[in-house]
Amino acid sequence: MTKKTATPWQTENWHVSSWNYLPEVTQGFNPPKKVRIHDVTLRDGEQQAGIIYTKDDKIRIAEKLAEAGVHRIETGMPAVSPMDEAAIREIVKRNLGPEIFCFSRCIVDDVKRAADCGVKGVVIEIPVSGHMVKQAYKWTLDKAVELSIKATAAAKECGLYTVFFTIDGTRAEMDFLLTLVDRVATEGHMDAFTLVDTFGVLHPQAASYFTKKVKERVKTPVEVHFHSDFGLGIANTIMAVLSGAEVIHSTVGGIGERCGNAPMEETVMALLTMYDIDCGLKYDKLNELSQLVMELSGLEVPPQRPFVGEKAFTVESGIVTGWYRNAYKDYPTTVFPVRPEFVGHAVPQIVMGKKSGLDNIMVWADRLGLEVNEEKKMEILTQIKRTSHDLKRTLTEKEFAEIVQKVQGRK
C-alpha cells in the first residue's frame, strides 16, 4: 500500500493534475473502501485468438501474479481440457497467497469439476440478453433462469464462493437482468454479482448508471468485467468503481477475447494516481509481470504502452531532453508523470535522431566520454538529423561517435 499524502496528485513517485481532486470534480464519487483485483489472464486472456498456455506457463504466470499482490486469480475452466484442469489443481496446491477461482458454464457438472479442483470460488456464466439467449444459444429465457438457479445452488452445496456472471449483460433488458439476479439470489445462490460488458459496448456514463442501478437491487458485492472493443475498458471500469463496484476483472496487458479486457496496469495506476484509490498491488512488479505474460503469450508489448512499454520512458525530442538534463535528477516527475522505478521500468533512455537537439548531443557525449567542440555542435546536429532522416531510424552510439569525429576532424 502507498502512503496517503495531503497532495495525492503529487508524491515522490507521480505528478498528475490537481484538478482531478477539486471538490467540484469529485462530488458524487462513491468508491468502496477497498478495491480488489480479480485477474482473468489465465482464462479470458487465453481466449485471445492464438494464445495457448501450457500447464507450466499457467503456473509461472500465477506465481508472478501472486508476487504482484493480485487478490484473486481466475485460473481457467476445468472442462476445457485435462491440461487446464491439471494446471488449476497444481496452482491450488502451491498455495501462492491469492484466492484461486475457476470459471464455469451454468452446468452443475462444471461446478462440481471446479469444486473437485480445490478452488475457493467459481465464476458461473449465463447469457442474459434476449437475442443472445435465443439466437446464439437457441434457448428460452426460462431455460436461462432455470440453469442459473440450479448451477448456483450446486455451487453453494459445494462450499464455493459463487460469482454470478451475466454474459452480454449490457445489451440485456434491464428489468429482465435485475429480475434474474433477484431470483438467483433468492432461489439459487450468489455471493457476488458481475456486471459484464461482453462486447465493450458501454460508454463511461452508462457504466456508472449501470453500476448504481444494480447496487440498488443487489446486496452482495458488485464486480465488473469490461471489454475494450471501443477502447473504453479502463474508463468504464473506473466509472464503475467510482459508483461502488468492489472488484475489478482485468488482464495483464489487456489481452483477451477479440479486442481484449481492461488492462490491469493502466487501470490500477489511473485509480492510484488520479483518484487516490490504492488497489494494494506491488506496483514495482508490473513490468516483470507484463514481460512474462507477453513472452508466454507470444506477443510483443506495444512500445508506447503506458508504464510497461519499452519506450514509455524514452526521449528523442531535443526539447524534452532539455527538460531531462535540467530537472530529472532532482525532480523526475517534472519530466515524466510517473517515476519509472515505481512501476519497475528501466531508467529513461535518451536516444539520438531526427528530432534531437543540442541537449541530446551533450547527454551522449557525457555518457561516451567524447569532447564536443562548442563551435561544431550545430554542424554535428545537422549531420545527425540528416543521417537519421535518411536511415529512417535513430542512431547507434557508434554512428554518433563517427559523426562527431568526422565533423570535428575537418580542416
pLDDT greater than 80 at residue 264: yes
> Is the domain of 286 the same as that of 343?
no
The domain spanning residue 243 has which CATH number?
3.20.20.70
Assigned domain for 9 exists = no
> Is the domain of 330 the same as that of 218?
no
Contact predicate 214/181, CB 8 Å: yes
**Which of 265, 297, 329 is the C-terminal boundary of a domain?**
297
> Is the domain of 32 the same as that of 85?
yes
> Is the domain of 289 the same as that of 333?
no
Assigned domain for 11 exists = no
Amino acid at 120: K
5 band by pLDDT with thresholds 50, 70 and 90: confident
Assigned domain for 80 exists = yes
pLDDT tens by residue, 127-186 = 999 898 899 999 888 999 899 999 999 999 999 999 999 999 999 999 899 999 999 999
> Is the domain of 259 the same as that of 124?
yes
**Could you give the C-alpha distances from 386 to 44, 126, 318, 367, in angstroms and in order?**
47, 60, 15, 22
> How many folded domains does the chain comprise?
2
Select from 242, 240, 186, 251 the least CA-distant residue to 217: 186
> Is the domain of 103 the same as that of 252?
yes
pLDDT tens by residue, 288-304 = 999 999 999 999 989 99
pLDDT value, residue 409: 80
Instruction: Please calculate the CA angle 399-402-406 and round it to the nearest 5 degrees.
Output: 140
pLDDT greater than 90 at residue 93: yes
Residues in the chain: 411
> Is the domain of 64 the same as that of 151?
yes
Q: Is 25 exposed, middle or buried (0-12, 13-18, 19+ CB in 10 A)?
A: exposed
> Is the domain of 250 the same as that of 371?
no
pLDDT greater than 90 at residue 336: yes
Assigned domain for 388 exists = yes
Mean pLDDT of 68-93: 96
pLDDT value, residue 132: 86
pLDDT value, residue 411: 45
Strand partners, 222: 193
pLDDT greater than 70 at residue 401: yes
**Could you give the C-alpha distances from 154 to 119, 151, 247, in angstroms and in order?**
15, 5, 23
Gap between the Cα atoms of 80 and 70, Å rounded? 24
- Characterize the bridge pairing of strands 247-250 and 314-315: unpaired
pLDDT greater than 90 at residue 4: no
> Is the domain of 265 the same as that of 389?
no
**Which of 297, 327, 361 is the C-terminal boundary of a domain?**
297
pLDDT tens by residue, 18-65 = 999 999 999 999 999 999 999 999 999 999 999 999 999 999 999 999
Assigned domain for 307 exists = no
For residues 331 and 301, which has the higher predicted lDDT (pLDDT)? 331
> Is the domain of 182 the same as that of 289?
yes
Structural domain containing residue 285: 18-297
Strand partners, 194: 165, 223
C-alpha Rg value of the chain to the nearest Å: 25
pLDDT tens by residue, 367-395 = 999 999 999 999 999 999 999 999 999 99
Average model confidence (pLDDT) across the chain: 95
pLDDT greater than 80 at residue 410: no
Select from 21, 60, 61, 19 the least CA-distant residue to 40: 61
Gap between the Cα atoms of 279 and 271, Å rounded? 8
